[in-house]
């Protein structure tokens, strides 16, 4: 069992990690939004190009989906989305660790009172 001083140090370290993760979030969210914008613009350009070329409307989504640039931008968007989700999950995990350490600290303090 850790001492109260050790638990307080753990909580402080976890709070610093949480702050770092929170600071990373806007950058990750911006990158995700930028990737989505690029992807959607590329899709629109390809759809318009295929429409003007006279391709059947039912075939256009498959043609666009198979376009190399569109596929690459979709891949980048998916990675950016995964990074945002991983950041959020990391923050939740750190908060849970802080809560657990605080609970143990509270329990230790109550044990000393009894």
Helix (H) / strand (E) containing 55: none
Q: Where are the domains of the chain?
A: 4-113
Residues 39 and 73 sit within 8 Å (Cβ to Cβ): yes
Mean pLDDT of the residues in the chain: 96
Would you give the DSSP letter of residue 56? Answer: -
Cα-Cα end-to-end distance for the chain: 18
- Summarised one tens digit per residue, pLDDT across range 55-72 is 999 999 999 999 999 999
Phi, psi of 58 (to 5 degrees): -70, -20
pLDDT at 114: 58
pTM to 2 decimals? 0.85
Q: How far is CA 42 from CA 21, 46, 72, in A?
A: 31, 6, 10
If you count them, how many residues does the chain have? 114
């Amino acid at each position: 069992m850790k001492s109260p001083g050790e638990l307080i140090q753990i909580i402080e370290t976890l709070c610093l990690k949480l702050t770092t993760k929170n600071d990373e979030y806007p950058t990750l969210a911006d990158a995700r939004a930028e990737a989505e914008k690029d992807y959607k613009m590329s899709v629109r350009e390809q759809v318009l190009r295929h429409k003007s070329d006279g391709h059947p409307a039912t075939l256009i989504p498959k043609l666009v989906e198979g376009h190399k640039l569109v596929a690459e931008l979709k891949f980048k968007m998916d990675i950016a989305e995964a990074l945002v989700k991983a950041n959020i999950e990391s923050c939740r995990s750190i908060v849970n660790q802080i809560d657990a350490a605080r609970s143990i600290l509270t329990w230790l303090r109550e044990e000393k009172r009894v």
